[in-house]
Amino acid sequence: MSLSISKLLGIDAAQDEPRLIDLIQIMPHSVIDRRQRPGIANAIDGTVTTVEIVVDYHQEPPKFNKRLPYRVIGHDETGEITLVFFHAQTSWLQSQLPIGEKVVVSGKVERFNGQLSMVHPDYIIPASRNEKLPLIEPVYPLTAGLSAKTLQRAITEALARLPLLPEWIDRTMVKQFGLPSFNVALHKIHTPIDPSDLPVDSLPRKRLAYDEFLAGQLALGLVRHKTKKLAGKANILKGTYTQKLRDALPFTLTQGQNQAFAEISKDLASNEAMLRLLQGDVGSGKTVVAFMAMAQVAENNGQSALMAPTEVLAQQHFATIAPLAKIIGLKTVLLTGREKGKLRQQVLDDIKDGKTDIIIGTHALIQESVDYHHLSLAIIDEQHRFGVHQRLNLLAKGVHPDMLVMTATPIPRTLVMTAFGDMDVSILKEKPAGRKNVITAILPEERLGELLDRVNVALQRGDKIYWICPLVEESESLELTSVEKRFEFLHQRFGDIVGIVHGKMTGSEKDQAMLNFKEGKTRLLVATTVVEVGVDVPDASIIIIEHAERFGLSQLHQLRGRVGRGDKQSSCILLYKAPIGKIAEARLNVMRETQDGFRIAEEDLRLRGEGEVLGTRQSGLPEFHMADLEVHSDLLTIARKDAQLILEKDPHLISERGQALRLLLYLFRKDGAIRLLRAG
Ligand code: ADP
Ligand code: MG
């Protein structure tokens, strides 16, 4: 492989460096067809039309009124057209449209009182160079800061530099579907001669979609290969710690929890490494299932690590798990970015020497300085907050450890497949008994006064309340002011019973704030979305969310899940700032109508479009550039089988096709998978 190919494809580039492929992966969403040349007399109002004209004369705007347009009048054998320019540069127009010359102009025409005009033609080209006019012009989604022309030029240039790549798709499949090659497909889409090449179900698009799926499935397959095929350790269910844990818990496991644990337990006991997703709505009680799994691993002298996305959540897991673990004879440590100096060293030593059984923490768990004695089980909580590489990094800390990822985000089956390959799934359907629905109300901000009266009554009664201030995307400092302002306002009114927690506080400040709330020293907690995921204060029964219209539905669902965790009747008040749009209103109504996470996710999808809900940002799922899951899902199934077959025959991708497939992996930024190949 020549150096130029690797450079162009960005091989060995940093993961976030822009690559050539990023440009050509931008798919046009439509085309402008400039082939229509009906002649001036027959041009249809409002359509993109190309006409060849003779320039007759220029009509400059009067000097005293520069706001009037500059006009150029021309004709063909059927009639007359006026080209209209605002704020035009006279010299440029005179050079582009010399009187008496033949030119081709293309753009949208308007007909007014029978008179045809074209405002700012897209193209003005001398008739002698007619062929310079792109007949079918792709239209790209507008990307921040790039004009359509700049983007198009960049893409054309990138395409010109793309080396001819070898075929990585199986020959029979190429034949059977009539697929164009990767290079040809890209050319057809970016420099189309026929509009039929562009729609998502066209052959070129199918080809690229398949490439994208295949790269994804192959990468997953490689990870899977690494984690599952290589035998894991068999962690037999012995019942020593697990039974003690059942006895020590303040409740009995629900049937669903027992079922999920049974599935996990079986995986742990087998000598294939586990790769399982535990999916359960907010408040369904996933943590204790994970705890049972950790106990089973401890019965076999293995260590478990539980990685949470935030310090608050890691701290909370530690606070619930450590005391119970101690009762049954297991040692737990907490490792976040916070512990320093000697204390940290002690924790690290204990992990390395195998003195600790359960390690709970944040991203700190995957730092290089952390050595595990024998990591047998890696658990990731709230998986949507983590990327694939973080999952891999945690796995790499052990020798084929079992892996359990937990999520409250309902993920459709096809997406599970794209994100995790053939990962096994356990689902917690019902919530622990005695849970009541959270009563949800929608309130305009003007009724804040009324709300405060009700808060007062609730506080008198002894209730615990979350008060959520929204994230201010544009500015963290603005966000801080808004929480602090709200805190001061409420503090003035209700006194020291009001607490505050936000992302800019230090770790121990956050802990203290959460602890105070948990213990009831404060009972009205003003918070940012730091409490969004996982936080568990079972006797909190009211949550008030300001500017609820700014949140995503899944986010609101997560937030609402902070209450209704005990047996108390709980409520959720969604404050909005009027006026709000129809969609925003519909979204808030969904929250009032249902508590079902699946339905909420579906409605969110419907109301906001796929990207928002299923984008990497919210769910940790991959985004596709070329493929469209709705149109190409059959290709996904084929790609998955294909990937399996490839890895069976050529697990290290060394055959000729294997080498080509490595290029494919680079193209689609699956560098992590390539690294796995290198490692062995
Ligand atoms: P999530 O699935 O959202 O992570 P958690 O694991 O935080 O949910 O559990 C939510 C709450 O339910 C916790 O307070 C937990 O102690 C409680 N809980 C879990 N399982 C049961 C059960 N079987 N019976 C009663 N309460 C339970
Ligand atoms: Mg949780």
- DSSP notation for 194-211: SGGG-STTSHHHHHHHHH
Going from the Cα of 31 to the center of ligand 2, the distance in angstroms, rounded, reads 47
Q: Quick one: pLDDT at residue 28?
A: 86
- For ligand 1, atom 26, the nearest C-alpha belongs to 432
Q: Please confirm whether the linkage preceding 579 is cis (ω < 30° from 0).
A: yes
pLDDT tens digit sequence for 442-473: 999 999 999 999 999 999 999 999 999 986 65
Q: What distance in angstroms lies between residue 429's CA and the mean position of ligand 1's atoms?
A: 13
For residue 385, the ligand closest to its alpha carbon is 2
Q: Which helix (H) or strand (E) holds 672?
A: helix 671-679
Output the 3-class SS for 505-520: CCHHHHHHHHHHHHHC
Pocket test of ligand 1: the residue of 252, 282, 284, 317 to mutate, having most ligand atoms within 8 Å of its CB, is 284
Among the bound ligands, the one closest to the CA of 278 = 1
| 561 Cα nearest atom in ligand 1 | 3
pLDDT at residue 6, as a whole number: 56
Residues having CB closer than 6 A to ligand 1 are 251, 253-254, 257, 280, 282-288, 408, 432, 534, 536, 538, 565
In the three-class reduction of DSSP (H, G, I as helix; E, B as strand; rest coil), residue 417 is classed as: helix
**Which H/E stretch holds residue 527?**
strand 524-527
Q: Contacts by 581-587 with C-beta closer than 8 Å and gap 24+?
A: 583/607, 583/608, 584/549, 587/549, 587/553
Which atom of ligand 1 lies closest to the CA of 286? 2
Q: What is the pLDDT of residues 416-451, one digit of tens each?
A: 666 666 678 898 988 888 778 899 999 999 999 999
Q: Which of 246, 249, 277, 288 has most ligand 1 atoms within 8 Å of CB, for mutation?
A: 288
Output the CA 567–ligand 1 centroid distance in Å.
12
Residues in the chain: 680
Residue with tokens 């519909």: 586
609-627 tens-digit pLDDT: 543 333 333 344 556 788 8
Token digits of residue 588 = 């808030």
Question: In angstroms, how far is CA 362 from the centroid of its own chain?
Answer: 20
Smallest CA separation from ligand 1 atom 18, residue:
285
Q: Which pTM does this prediction carry?
A: 0.64
What spacing in Å lies between the alpha carbon of 289 and ligand 1's midpoint? 9
3-state SS class at 81? strand
70 touches 61 (CB < 8 A): yes
H helices present in 495-650, as ranges = 507-519, 553-560, 582-593, 597-608, 610-614, 616-619, 629-649
Ligand 1 midpoint to CA 432 (Å): 7
Residues around ligand 2, an ion, CB closer than 5 A: 534
Among protein residues, the one with the nearest Cα to ligand 1's atom 23 is 253
Which own/partner pairs from 143-148 qualify as long-range (CB within 8 Å, at least 24 positions apart)? Answer: 143/26
Strand ranges of the sheet holding 275-280, from the earlier edge strand across to the other edge: 332-335, 358-361, 303-307, 375-380, 402-407, 275-280, 424-428
CA distances from 614 to 270, 438, 559 (A): 33, 25, 18
Say what the pLDDT of residue 628 is.
Answer: 80
d(CA 552, CA 319) in angstroms, rounded, equals 29
Q: Residue 287 Cα, ligand 1 centroid: separation in angstroms?
A: 7
Sign of CA dihedral 666, 669, 671, 676: negative
Per 3-state DSSP, what percentage of the chain is helix, strand, and coil (rounded to 5)? Answer: 45, 20, 35
Q: Which atom of ligand 1 is nearest to the CA of 284?
A: 2
Using left for φ > 0, alpha for ψ between -120 and 50, and beta otherwise, residue 333 falls in beta
Atom of ligand 1 nearest to the CA of 566: 14
Q: Quick one: angle between helices 286-298 and 311-328, nearest 10?
A: 50
CB 434 within 8 A of CB 569: no
> Which portions of the chain are predicted below pLDDT 50?
1-4, 610-620, 680
Cα Rg, the chain, nearest whole Å? 31
What is the spatial distance between Cα 372 and Cα 349, in angstroms, rounded to a whole number? 9
pLDDT of residue 680: 45
Q: How many CB atoms lie within 10 A of CB 33?
A: 14
> With 0-12 CB in 10 A as exposed, 13-18 as middle and 19+ as buried, what is 428?
buried
The confidence score (pLDDT) of residue 598 equals: 74
Q: What structural domains does the chain harbor?
A: 35-133 (2.40.50.140), 439-594 (3.40.50.300)
Q: At what angle do helices 240-248 and 311-328 cross, to 10 degrees?
A: 110
- Taking the centre of ligand 2 as the mean of its atom positions, its distance from the CA of residue 294, in whole angstroms, is 15
Among protein residues, the one with the nearest Cα to ligand 1's atom 5 is 285
Q: And the tokens for 292? A: 């049972």
Q: Cα of 25 to ligand 2 centre, how many Å?
A: 37
Is residue 412 a contact partner of residue 619, using CB atoms and an 8 Å limit? no
Helix (H, G, I), strand (E, B) or coil at 117: strand
Which atom number of ligand 1 is nearest to the Cα of residue 254? 23
Q: Which amino acid is at 479?
A: E
Q: Hey, which bits of 364-435 come out as E strands?
A: 375-380, 402-407, 424-428
Minimum CA distance residue for ligand 1 atom 14: 538
Helix (H/G/I), strand (E/B), else coil: 135:
coil
Atom of ligand 1 nearest to the CA of 565: 11
DSSP string across 421-490: SS-EEEEE-SPPTTPPPPEEEEEEGGGHHHHHHHHHHHHHHT-EEEEEPPP-TT-HHHHHHHHHHHHHHH
Query: Parallel, antiparallel, or unpaired for β 102-112 and 48-59?
Result: antiparallel
